[in-house]
Amino acid sequence: MRIGMLGTGDVAKALAKGFATLGHDVKVGSRSAGNGKATAIAKELEGKGSAGTFAEAAAFGEVVVLATLGSANPEVLKAAGADRLRGKVLIDATNPLDFGGGAPRLFLGHTDSGGEQVQRLVPEARVVKAFNTVGNAFMFRPVFAGGPPDMFFCGNDAAAKKTVEDILVSFGWQTVDLGGIESSRYLEAMCMVWVIHGIRSGTWTHAFKLLRK
Ligand SMILES: NC(=O)c1ccc[n+]([C@@H]2O[C@H](COP(=O)([O-])OP(=O)(O)OC[C@H]3O[C@@H](n4cnc5c(N)ncnc54)[C@H](OP(=O)(O)O)[C@@H]3O)[C@@H](O)[C@H]2O)c1
């Protein structure tokens, strides 16, 4: 599959490496052509990677991943282009975090969420929220003493969710479908549980698992 990666941070790098390891072709998109971080990630993908702008990555991908700073989502998606994302599966791995002083906080919640904002910004893309509740170090092939952790995901389009669920399983996750994109309100709050536990414990090696009888 062709994957368009929007972003050049730790999440984009971890997911790009995961996709490439599984044999997918990845174009890493950034705000400017020739971005050094995008080029460096692409180079690490050993023949499966290339670099370009957000628009080029969006056009390239059969599946596109949004992995940029949450507050930049409107400008990133504007640059990617709603037309280029029309009908495509858009995995939203972002969190609406405000880093303006002290510990990060959500700048959206209760009655709205980053996932819903993303779906409104690109209404004809098929947005699935996923990968936002775990650290980048564990996004691909997570290994924990308690067995495979669960990746919670949500979105409005059943076929898009099936595509993302298949990707999650291929990445080594068990999955939990939380329904429509409005459940992003709770997945983004779960991110804060992950972050606060990290801050309080000083460890960043945890993941969520739903226990089943
Ligand atoms: N870090 C994690 O482990 C983790 C885990 C789960 C979810 N997340 C979420 O995943 C997303 C990515 O996280 P991250 O840690 O990889 O990186 P990040 O620092 O949150 O974002 C980096 C990316 O955002 C781009 N960016 C920043 N400001 C921008 C702007 N104004 N316009 C366009 N692009 C802009 C950067 O581009 P430039 O290089 O050009 O600045 C870079 O590609 C975030 O929403 C985060 O909350 C992170």
Give the confidence band of 3 by pLDDT, cuts at 50, 70, 90. very high
Query: Model confidence over 19-51: pLDDT tens digits?
Result: 999 999 999 999 998 999 999 999 999 899 999
pLDDT of residue 101: 86
Atom of ligand 1 nearest to the CA of 131: 6
Closest by CA position to 63, among listed 160, 199, 181, 188: 160
8 lines ligand 1 (CB under 6 A): yes
Q: How far is the CA of 70 from the centre of ligand 1 (A)?
A: 7
Spatial strand order in the sheet of 2-6? 49-53, 25-30, 2-6, 63-66, 89-92, 126-129, 150-155, 174-177
Q: Is 183 in the pocket of ligand 1 (CB under 6 A)?
A: no
pLDDT digits (tens, 9 = 90+) for 175-206: 999 999 999 999 999 999 999 999 999 999 99
pLDDT score of 2: 98
pLDDT tens, 43-74? 999 899 999 999 999 999 999 999 999 999 99
What's the confidence (pLDDT) of residue 168?
Answer: 98
Answer yes or no: is pLDDT of 103 > 90. Answer: no
State in Å: Cα 72 to ligand 1 middle: 8
**pLDDT at position 102 over 90:** no
**Segment 162-169 mean pLDDT:** 98
The CA 92 to ligand 1 mean position distance, Å, reads: 12
Q: How confident is the model at residue 17 (pLDDT cuts 50, 70, 90)?
A: very high
pLDDT at position 116 is 98
